[in-house]
Chain A
Amino acid sequence: MPEKLMLKDVSVMVDGTTLTESARSVDIDTSAEELDGTAFGGSGWREFEPGLKAGTIAVEFYQGFDSGGVHDTLWPLSETQDSFEIRIGPKGDTGASDNPVFVGEVKLFAYKFLQGEVGQLSTNPVTFRLTGAPTLNDT
């Protein structure tokens, strides 16, 4: 029976610091632009070619200001605009053929210092953008 992955042990490492226990959702998108190459003779169908690729990694964290926590790790990266490594593993950070760990060099874009409402846990939806091709560590 094919695997039907239920997300449970996704690992999130940002600039070397493990933030797994502060993350609650991930969304890794490495789509290519769609270039319309439709020409005559297509029998009424549009034809597309893949264009430039871009990588966007959205992670929603629970916000926290403790040492080694979300703000402590991400705020300096937001301020300096340095590029740094992000690693996200579907089932932990140990790469294997059935657990390819996504590794990419990124820069931090969207960062929310504080958001939320009374009585709710404050979350911080963060957006990272790849600065080059990612790799998959599956060994």
Chain B
Amino acid sequence: MSFYKVIGPVPYRNHPPGSTFEADLEEKAEERAIRRKAIELLERKPTSLRDGSWTLPKKEEGSDA
């Protein structure tokens, strides 16, 4: 997920000019939009798991795994 700002004079994916939005754009679509100055990338959020949001699978009884 990344944050973008619409810097072009027309809406981008229904986000009005000047607005910011969060999206997971396909790599090539992002590249084209940035190249034609429709949007600019503000922040790239690396995909990660938040602490405490996951657990390891429980070991079943009698299983060696």
Contact = CB atoms under 8 A, between A and B. Distances in A.
Interface stretch (B34-42, B44-52, B53-61): B34-42
Query: Is the interface on chain A under 10, 10 to 19, 20 to 34, or 35 or more residues?
Result: 20 to 34
A16 B35 contact: no
Query: Is the interface on chain B under 10, 10 to 19, 20 to 34, or 35 or more residues?
Result: 10 to 19
Contacts, number: 48
Contact of A68 (B8, B29, B32, B35): B8
B18 interface: no
B37 to A, nearest CB: 7
Highest count of chain B CB atoms <10 Å: which of A15, A16, A17, A84: A16
Given A17-B38, A68-B9, A82-B28, 6 more contacts: A17-B12, A17-B33, A67-B37, A68-B8, A76-B32, A93-B14
Interface of B: 8-14, 28-29, 32-33, 35-38
